[in-house]
Amino acid sequence: MERIDKLIVQMTLAEKIGQLMMTAADHAVTGPVLTPFSEDAIRSGAIGNLLNLYGAESTQRIQKIAVEESRLHIPLLLGYDALHGQRTTFPIPLAETGVFDPAVWEATARVAAEECAGDGLNMTFAPMLDVSRDPRWGRIAESPGEDPFVGSVFARAKIRGFQNGSLADARAVSACAKHFAAYGAVNAGREYAPTDMSEGMLHEAYLPPFRAAVEAGVAAIMPAFTDLNGIPLTAHVPLLRDYLRGELGFDGVLVSDYHAIAELLNHGVAADLAEAAALALKAGVDIDMMSDAYRLGLPQALERNLVTMDEIDACVRRVLLLKERLGLFDDPYRRGREGSGVTAQSRALARASAARSLVLLKNDGNVLPLAARKLALIGPLADAAGEMRGPWAGAGQPEDCISVLQGLTEAGLDLRHAPGVAIDEDDVSGIPAALELCADADMVLLCLGEAALMSGEAASRAHLGLPGRQQDLADAVFEKAQGKPVIVVLFSGRPLAVPRLVSQADAVLAAWFPGCEAGHAIADVLTGKISPSGRTPVSWPRAVGQIPIFFGMRPGGRPFNPDDYFTSHYSDVENTPLFPFGHGLSYGDFALSNLRIEPGDPLTVKLDVENRGAFAGEETLFLFLNQKKPGVTRPLLELKGFGKIALAPSERGTIALSLPRIEGRATLFVGPNAATDSLLSLSI
Ligand code: BGC
């Protein structure tokens, strides 16, 4: 602290503002580079932090300019988005959430942090913790799905993984939880649109993962671009200052989202950059990412008494404190000495986590695992290695990725491949060639779905069917296959509304975007080397009109009753999702019995599980609660715990889940997913 106070006393206003600036490196064909302008700005102290520059050589060189050539020798924060890996690409966060194993969530973040640190970075803009109940919104791909309890466990695991217990560790980076808050509930799922929601819902569903992140010691938080109930989050005093800093005691760094401070003008809440800068600063936003509003606006804001020097100093102090906690003053070059790359070990984790993230949605007649060896491999995603990375792929390279074609070939299957159509084009001239392959195959494997960049930022969709002419291809294949099993491997960054495809197929495997080891992981599961165990962390709609659809709804005064017309329903689609939260089949076959509670605080809920199937497998069980409170409605189901158990054929075991003591009347439910008919219950 002493060092920081001494520095602040010496700093000019421009140098102080420099510490609050974060600027992006430019991109050249070969990767990110810095313009001579940025280098000079770092030398002069006008830019104190960078994003989007990675690689040991470039980061060390630029850190050297800051440390050795700037007047006060202050090192840079160097940040990058490593949402699901840096060099080694793991499954997209939505897919990885479906593993429902915090040890895996932590392990992949640990590897990502080590690779970031190897690349000379000291901050990552992850984890993304936006609860997402709207698959139209493309950023659902980056999220831990629809449930706040899951999001909270995910937050803690990721922060442990990234920060490794000590920010000063040369192999740790500071995490930045984002996007605070309720960005996942933008109107109609349209990217960057405003959010309007009740205080009750905000606290029930959208804030808990951020609270968990703060409790886990997250170093930084990024407010969302968006407007919540009429106040842009970038200037949201009640949430940033009163709730985050006040109630939760968050004393880390708030980093604006990209260009978000200048966008306060577009929101219509600031008349010029001085006002925009003052609004954000007063709400407690320390770092201006990419908008230049602090550089251009803060001097004027000071002159116009919109902010005080003390307020500016408070932000500078928090930024310098983070640099100190990261060990940067003691050794600015501690990260980036070792370099970074995909290793045999990181690949093994990528393969194992990808295999466990695959969700077997349907498996009629147990067509999987594959008995046949002669396959027609059809579809635009069968030989699409680069797409396997999904959106926000960090520094992951297409040449490091394994396609389905490669993975299945290496597994020894006899394959003929044709794409049939492209992912999102109108040309159907390739369909006949694809159909020809069906004739002498025993089975057809269709690899369909979205392109990687159809989800992620700025990738909202109003239609959630298969893009382009893929459904035409599927229709033609189902007609041609005539009794031969057709298995669909479906790639997407979100649940798709594809009831027709699901009813046509014998088996459907939701692969999401599995990352660099996609082909190997998919082959492991299709061939039965590994039994599928992924569970969907988000409900799959039957139709776009059901959205938002999630298990934590309230009953309403007229819950659906098929015998009473005037109860809550659609006239053209069922109320239930196509696949509920938690759905995912196994090659094992699990029977549940003997739900019981053991007293204590917390209570222990136990359930016996037996694998009656012919294959080993892993069962996941969810513990839900339904509470009744006088005067206030509660969700039908609230998730309070989950656990997994791996069982060999005929093996039995007991799963134990803990439940904090609760006041009042409640019913607890345990089962493999959120569909009410799959749950065992007990009143407590
Ligand atoms: C995204 C953030 C991201 C930032 C920096 C923005 O467009 O909304 O999630 O961290 O860019 O890449």
User: What is the predicted pLDDT for the residue at 538?
Assistant: 98
Specify the range with the lowest mean pLDDT, choosing from 105-109, 132-136, 631-635.
631-635
Q: Percent of the chain, pLDDT > 90? A: 94
647-656 mean pLDDT:
98
Distance between CA atoms of residues 170 and 189, nearest Å: 40
Cβ contact 168:227 at 8 Å: no
Please check the confidence at residue 28 and state whether its pLDDT lies above 70.
no
Q: What is the 3-state secondary structure (H, E, C) of 183-213?
A: HHHCHHHCCCCCECCCHHHHHHHHCHHHHHH
Asked, as a colleague might, if the bond just before 602 is cis with ω within 30 of 0, I would say yes
Instruction: Give 429-469 pLDDT, tens digit per residue.
Output: 999 999 999 998 999 999 999 999 999 999 999 999 999 99
User: What is the predicted pLDDT for the residue at 293?
Assistant: 95
Instruction: Give 57-105 pLDDT, tens digit per residue.
Output: 999 999 999 999 999 999 999 999 999 999 999 999 999 999 999 999 9
Cβ contact 476:56 at 8 Å: no
The per-residue pLDDT of the chain, averaged, comes to 96
* CB 183 less than 6 A from any atom of ligand 1: no
Instruction: Give 329-387 pLDDT, tens digit per residue.
Output: 999 999 998 888 999 999 999 999 999 999 999 999 999 999 877 999 999 999 999 99
Cβ contact 664:628 at 8 Å: yes
Q: Which of 281, 282, 287 is nearest to 256 (CA)?
A: 287
**Confidence category of residue 29, pLDDT binned at 50, 70, 90:** low
Angle, to 10 degrees, between the axis of helix 102-118 and the axis of helix 148-163?
Answer: 40
Q: Look-up: residue for tokens 């904090």?
A: 660
Q: First vs last Cα of the chain: how many Å apart?
A: 51
Q: Which two tokens stand for residue 162?
A: 């990234």
User: What is the predicted pLDDT for the residue at 155?
Assistant: 99
* CB 513 less than 6 A from any atom of ligand 1: no
Instruction: Give 267-321 pLDDT, tens digit per residue.
Output: 999 999 999 999 999 999 999 999 999 999 999 999 999 999 999 999 999 999 9
Q: Which of 353, 322, 307, 374 is nearest to 78 (CA)?
A: 322
* CB 125 less than 6 A from any atom of ligand 1: yes
**Confidence category of residue 589, pLDDT binned at 50, 70, 90:** very high
User: What is the predicted pLDDT for the residue at 483?
Assistant: 86
User: Ligand 1 pocket test: which of 26, 52, 77, 125 has the largest number of ligand atoms within 8 Å of its C-beta?
Assistant: 125
521-542 mean pLDDT:
98
Catalytic residues: 257
* CB 139 less than 6 A from any atom of ligand 1: no
Which residue owns the Cα nearest ligand 1 atom 7? 258
533 C-alpha vs ligand 1 centroid, how far in Å?
Answer: 31
- CB-facing half-sphere around the CA of 509: CA atoms within 13 A: 34
Q: Which of 536, 518, 467, 523 is nearest to 675 (CA)?
A: 536
414 C-alpha vs ligand 1 centroid, how far in Å?
Answer: 43
**Confidence category of residue 629, pLDDT binned at 50, 70, 90:** confident
User: What is the predicted pLDDT for the residue at 280?
Assistant: 98
